[in-house]
Structure 1
């Protein structure tokens, strides 16, 4: 058993870390958070670094990188902000769905553009009435001649407003079928007539942004269908393990940044004649936090390894997502306490880590859903 990264993985981590140092300085990330902006120049730099190409199959102009390599990049990109990693994660999940299920015509048209940075991908599943019970969605796509006509509403659609973005839309195409059977996927450019998008005013995740989307008789060509009609739920669930491993990886990246900032402050801040990190109460709390972070690293690494080996990994992926997300919430709360009043100001990044972490135990499957899945996997 070898826990050491390969030389290629070591160089990949160094490259991703160097990218962050060059393109994501603290003051710039704070400015993007305040302005609710993911700069196109940053996306272009990610393309130049080859990050989107990593998640596109090699047959369509990408690299088809293994999950273990992608997890390294997600972790490093999430250190300045989870939203930076989230942009790549959205592209990755969309590219995986297209690569596995889209027609050859759609794959050939879209995936090389994604690898070159000419198109982005996002995913719209959640609706006002359907959250954890996602298959109860009501957005409807009906046939009209050779076209599809879409009506309905989506909520919490991450990054859907971005320039040159194409939404992978989950819609009901057979209202008479059982709820998991009558669902299809459609590829929808976000500037299609009939789409109205409203940026949500959220507590965190300001850089990537969450959106509410209205579809008012949106007309799409028949070729917008991804794969076969009424097979969409199977397509979505095929890649849930990948999504959970991805979320765990970028939660880990944010946790590492949080821990580093909290430890650095504990060394510098003095009270009662000594650095506050010398007090056992804080030292032990941060030691516990460091242990939890390390546990998240290896849960994520194991899940990613099993995914790459083609082994069952539903249990491991849910465990990694559950632990990493709840650990991040605990750690950012501790970080706020360590920095005290300073944490409550925008002069420090701890408040942003804390705000962004609030979504971690909800998005991508709640902690309660993960526990239910794990319980099922262990035979309960």
Structure 2
């Protein structure tokens, strides 16, 4: 077992640290929270630094890399920034289009991405009654006599849905019933007649605005379809394992930032004439926080390593998401506790980070659904032959 980083990975970490020092200090992050977004200049700078191209095929202008390196990029960027940024979502969105889109759709989206650093579409997958349970999706597309299609339904938790000019939608074909697993993907212009939006207010991740979307008989044409007809459910499942792994990498980076701050504060804060780090209760918190971070990190990179080797990570990714998201949120909460009242103010970043990371116990599949996914597979794994 070799836990060492390659020279390229070491250089990547140094580059991320330099980028964040220049572009993502606390004053700038506070301004982003107030403005609910990042500047176009910063997003383009991320792309030009090469970070936004990692994981994208070389023939499309990207920088191919293994999944372990993508995990390092995601973790270290969240660690240095100390916040959840839209960059991971942008990369995952582009990967979805590259995997499923036609050559013309991929080229259109990549041309725009290479120019701005932003995808031209948001992802409209979740619904009020169908988050982890995708089979309960009720958005439906029905074919008309003239060869067009009509889309009806509602999507929620659409990240940056009111920002981008298109939305990448998954809907059922013809029949909205739970038994129907035939779904298709569509690239729908935001300005389409019958499509409306409403912002969603949330307690964290303020740099990334979310919205709900309503589709009231939105007319679609065949050239707007992404991928094969009826293959949307299978496609939707394909990238979840990687997405969940990188969500945990983002959680881990943020939780490490909280650990950095809390441990340093514990050495500086004097209570009853001694630093609070000298008291056993605080030492126990720091010890258990470090264990949680190390366990999550080991699970994360083993999972990505297995994925790079072509091994199944169906169980690994669910266990990782269940354990990692919960433990990272707990580490952030303990950091707030170590800061005491100061941690509950806006004068420190640990409270902000805790709010950001708490949402990751829901994003990409809830803690509870991970038990459902892993539990079924574990019963099969350990069944007596």
The alignment's TM-score, normalised by the length of structure 2, stands at: 0.92
Contact 2:169 2:188 in 1 (8 A): yes
Structure-2 residue corresponding to 1:353? 353
Contact 1:135 1:180 in 2 (8 A): yes
Which residues of 2 match residues 224-263 of structure 1 at below 5 A? 224-263=224-263
Contact 1:55 1:95 in 2 (8 A): no
Number of aligned residues: 377
Structure-2 residue corresponding to 1:201? 201
**Greater mean alpha carbon deviation, residues 337-346 or residues 314-323:** 314-323
Counterpart CA distance in 1 for 2:211 and 2:355 is 17
- Residues 77 and 160 (structure 1 numbering): CA distance in 2 closer, same or farther, change over 3 Å? farther
1:111 deviates by: 2.6
Counterpart CA distance in 2 for 1:166 and 1:71 is 28
Counterpart CA distance in 2 for 1:233 and 1:324 is 26
Contact 1:130 1:137 in 2 (8 A): yes
**Greater mean alpha carbon deviation, residues 357-366 or residues 146-155:** 146-155
1:146 deviates by: 4.0
Q: Establish whether residue 139 from structure 1 lines up as the match of residue 139 from structure 2.
A: yes
Q: Establish whether residue 97 from structure 1 lines up as the match of residue 96 from structure 2.
A: yes
1:149 deviates by: 2.7
- Residues 189 and 65 (structure 1 numbering): CA distance in 2 closer, same or farther, change over 3 Å? farther
Which residues of 2 match residues 284-299 of structure 1 at below 5 A? 284-299=284-299
User: Which SS does the other structure have where 2:161 is aligned?
Assistant: coil
**Greater mean alpha carbon deviation, residues 190-199 or residues 124-133:** 190-199
1:67 deviates by: 1.4
Counterpart CA distance in 2 for 1:82 and 1:324 is 17
**Greater mean alpha carbon deviation, residues 129-138 or residues 298-307:** 129-138
1:77 deviates by: 2.1
User: Which SS does the other structure have where 1:83 is aligned?
Assistant: coil
Contact 2:54 2:63 in 1 (8 A): yes
1:186 deviates by: 0.9
Q: Establish whether residue 106 from structure 1 lines up as the match of residue 105 from structure 2.
A: yes
Structure-2 residue corresponding to 1:10? 10
Structure-2 residue corresponding to 1:150? 151
User: Which SS does the other structure have where 1:27 is aligned?
Assistant: helix
Counterpart CA distance in 1 for 2:308 and 2:257 is 27
Contact 2:90 2:118 in 1 (8 A): no
Q: CA RMSD in A?
A: 1.9
- Residues 56 and 143 (structure 1 numbering): CA distance in 2 closer, same or farther, change over 3 Å? farther
Counterpart CA distance in 1 for 2:254 and 2:224 is 36
Counterpart CA distance in 2 for 1:227 and 1:76 is 34
Counterpart CA distance in 2 for 1:140 and 1:379 is 35
The alignment's TM-score, normalised by the length of structure 1, stands at: 0.93
Which residues of 2 match residues 174-193 of structure 1 at below 5 A? 174-175=174-175, 179=179, 181-193=181-193
Gaps of 5+ in 1: none
Q: Deviations over 1:262-321 (max 9, x none)?
A: 111111111100111111100111111011101111111111111122111111112221
Contact 1:56 1:115 in 2 (8 A): no
1:328 deviates by: 1.5
Contact 1:62 1:112 in 2 (8 A): no
Counterpart CA distance in 2 for 1:325 and 1:92 is 20
**Greater mean alpha carbon deviation, residues 314-323 or residues 4-13:** 314-323
Structure-1 residue corresponding to 2:269? 269
1:357 deviates by: 2.0
1:93 deviates by: 2.4
Structure-1 residue corresponding to 2:216? 216
Which residues of 2 match residues 28-67 of structure 1 at below 5 A? 28-67=28-67
